[in-house]
Amino acid sequence: MANQGNWADANLVQSLNEQKRYINDMENDIQEMQQYYENEVEQSKYNEEVLKCRCNELQQQVLTLQPALKRADQMQMEIDVLRNELRKRDLALNAYDCQYQQLMYKTKMFKKSGYRYLDELIESCSDNCFKDTGGLEDDGDVTC
């Protein structure tokens, strides 16, 4: 029985040693996990600070870019107004050109129909017409 007691005692000691080793391994795993999560928390805090700084920088950029954006919007509106004015001017020029072409056509047709302008009448008058009548008709008008 003494052997059985020694064997049971040795078995208990071995079992206690294994449990002790298991507990130590668990404690080491827990410490490693705790260290890992503490590092992750520190990294997260660092990332948060970096993101806050970057956010502040972007806010400052937005504040400086807003007036430029407003100026660009105003310039775009001015460009639109000028484009409309140019379109109106082009339409007016086109209408003027059309009227001018019509007037030139009517003038050409008027000339072709046999009417002569006063300067053509004076140039076509011969000296004979002025010599014979003195250049005047009975009522005092110039003859040709």
- Identify the three-state secondary structure at position 134: coil
Per-residue pLDDT tens for 108-140? Answer: 888 888 765 555 555 555 545 445 555 455 555
Per-residue pLDDT tens for 58-100? Answer: 999 999 999 999 999 999 999 999 999 999 999 999 999 999 9
pTM: 0.42
Q: Which residues pair with 142 in a beta bridge?
A: 136
pLDDT for residue 51 is more than 90: yes
d(CA 15, CA 134): 158
Tokens of 2: 């003494």
d(CA 61, CA 97): 52
